């Protein structure tokens, strides 16, 4: 019987076989040009960089220096690339496409664009967005960890509220075994927020990294002096970056500026990471009670802090 790891490896290999065939990278001539895939990528980097060096190209493409050197020698021999000493560092060579190099790159770039249009055009708009989201998810999941300053906090846009509901249901179900009531709970909060939204009293932030949503949090009015923090969530891809703390601090800053005297929140005792953030930001546990709303044997908690 295949192990979980074996099945995952086969899943990746199956996707790789499908995708490389679908986008035509196995053809002898990349994009029907006289270049290989690696040579095409080097041309792309040269066309989109200023005052670049062989080291810059090797780092950007993770290419072996010797292999890159052979590609560049061919380009220089064919008159596609010029190499000059750096005016600030004589040990560094500066590469640039010649007029012939730019002419050679132009059809490669145009055919790449046209092939992607042909790939996406038959799909309805919703499926195009699903493809782009899936690609972004793969790129983000496999990329090295990035610091939190790569994450932006923005106001919600159309579609974001549905994403908040879906991710609360999916993440809490997968990670803590919560049942469908979690998704209903998030939907109820979102519905109330939209219907009773007061711009000077309520606020939502959507966290985004490289165009992909990775977290959220809400501040809603409880009464004239009390704000409630709700629906704090960080995607696994953004954990460890400090995003959760950043979202909580955004709520506190907004609540103070809005004139609230106190902030409260509701959570579950098993949400250890979130509780640690709340405690470190000055919230105090004020009550706890058994709660089976999202599954058996849970303990709900109320935390609060003065502002």
Q: Give the Cα separation of 269 and 266 in Å (integer).
A: 10
In a domain, 176, yes or no: yes
Q: Give the Cα separation of 272 and 265 in Å (integer).
A: 15
174/117 same-domain check = no
107/213 same-domain check = no
Domain boundary among the residues 122, 137, 159 is at: 122
Q: Which pLDDT score is estimated for 73?
A: 92
Q: Which pLDDT score is estimated for 103?
A: 93
85/191 same-domain check = no
Please list the rounded mean pLDDT of every run of 10 residues in the chain (307 residues): 78 86 76 85 87 85 89 93 82 87 90 88 82 72 64 94 95 90 95 95 94 94 96 88 92 96 94 90 92 86 95
In a domain, 129, yes or no: no
Retrieve residue 87's tokens.
Answer: 């005016």
* DSSP character at residue 28: S
Q: Which pLDDT score is estimated for 113?
A: 86
Q: Which pLDDT score is estimated for 29?
A: 75
HEC letters along 140-164: HHHCCCCCHHHEEEECCCCCHHHHH
Q: Which pLDDT score is estimated for 183?
A: 94
Q: Which pLDDT score is estimated for 164?
A: 97
What is the crossing angle of helices 37-47 and 54-61, to 10°?
120
293/220 same-domain check = yes
Q: Which pLDDT score is estimated for 263?
A: 97
Domain boundary among the residues 71, 106, 122 is at: 122
pLDDT, tens only, 120-151: 889 887 788 778 767 777 776 676 655 556 88
Instruction: State the sign of the Cα–Cα–Cα–Cα dihedral 59, 62, 66, 69.
Output: negative
Closest to 244 (Cα-Cα) out of 267, 222, 224: 267
Give the SS3 label for residue 11. Answer: helix
170/253 same-domain check = yes
154/91 same-domain check = no
Q: Which residues pair with 305 in a beta bridge?
A: 263
Q: Which pLDDT score is estimated for 51?
A: 75
CATH of residue 220's domain is: 3.40.630.30
163/297 same-domain check = yes
CATH of residue 74's domain is: 1.10.10.10
In a domain, 47, yes or no: yes
282/197 same-domain check = yes
In a domain, 138, yes or no: no
32/181 same-domain check = no
In a domain, 139, yes or no: no
Domain boundary among the residues 106, 122, 138 is at: 122
186/110 same-domain check = no
Residue 256 neighbours by CB under 8 Å, 6+ apart: 307
224/159 same-domain check = yes
**Sheet harboring 212-221: ordered strands across?**
151-154, 203-209, 212-221, 226-234, 262-268, 298-306, 284-291
Q: Which pLDDT score is estimated for 3?
A: 75
In a domain, 270, yes or no: yes
Instruction: State the sign of the Cα–Cα–Cα–Cα dihedral 257, 260, 263, 264.
Output: negative
User: Is this prediction's pTM over 0.75?
Assistant: no
In a domain, 132, yes or no: no
Number of domains within the chain:
2
Tell me how far CA of residue 154 lies from CA of 19, 80, 146, 215, in angstroms: 33, 44, 19, 11
In a domain, 10, yes or no: yes
Query: 112 is in which domain, residue-wise?
Result: 4-122
164/62 same-domain check = no
Residues 46 and 101: beta-carbon distance below 8 Å: yes
């Amino acid at each position: 019987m295949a192990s979980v790891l074996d099945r995952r490896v086969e899943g990746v290999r199956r996707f790789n076989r499908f995708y490389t065939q679908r986008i035509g990278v196995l053809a002898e001539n990349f994009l029907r040009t006289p270049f290989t895939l690696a040579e095409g990528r080097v041309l792309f980097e040269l066309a989109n960089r200023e005052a670049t060096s062989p080291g810059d190209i090797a780092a950007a493409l993770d290419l072996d220096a010797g292999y890159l050197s052979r590609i560049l020698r061919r380009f220089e021999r064919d008159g596609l690339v010029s190499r000059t000493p750096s005016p600030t560092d004589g040990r560094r060579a500066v590469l640039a496409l010649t007029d012939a190099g730019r002419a050679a790159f132009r059809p490669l770039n145009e055919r790449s664009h046209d092939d992607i249009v042909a790939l996406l055009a038959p799909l309805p708009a919703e499926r195009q967005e699903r493809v782009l989201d899936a690609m972004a998810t793969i790129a983000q999941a496999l990329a090295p960890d990035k610091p939190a300053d790569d994450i932006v906090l923005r106001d919600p846009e159309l579609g974001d509220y549905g994403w908040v509901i879906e991710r609360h249901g999916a993440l809490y179900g997968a990670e803590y075994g919560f049942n469908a009531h979690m998704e209903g709970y998030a939907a109820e909060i979102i519905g109330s927020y939209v219907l009773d939204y007061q711009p000077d009293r309520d606020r939502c932030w959507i966290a985004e990294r490289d165009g992909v949503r990775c977290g959220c949090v809400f501040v809603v009015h409880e009464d004239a002096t009390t704000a409630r923090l709700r629906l704090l969530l960080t995607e696994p891809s953004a954990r460890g970056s400090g995003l959760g703390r950043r979202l909580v601090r955004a709520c506190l800053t907004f609540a103070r500026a809005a004139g609230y005297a106190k902030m409260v929140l509701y959570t579950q005792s098993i949400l250890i990471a979130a509780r640690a953030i709340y405690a470190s930001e000055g919230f105090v546990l004020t009550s706890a009670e058994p709660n089976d709303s999202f599954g058996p044997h849970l303990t709900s908690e109320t935390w609060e802090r003065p502002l």
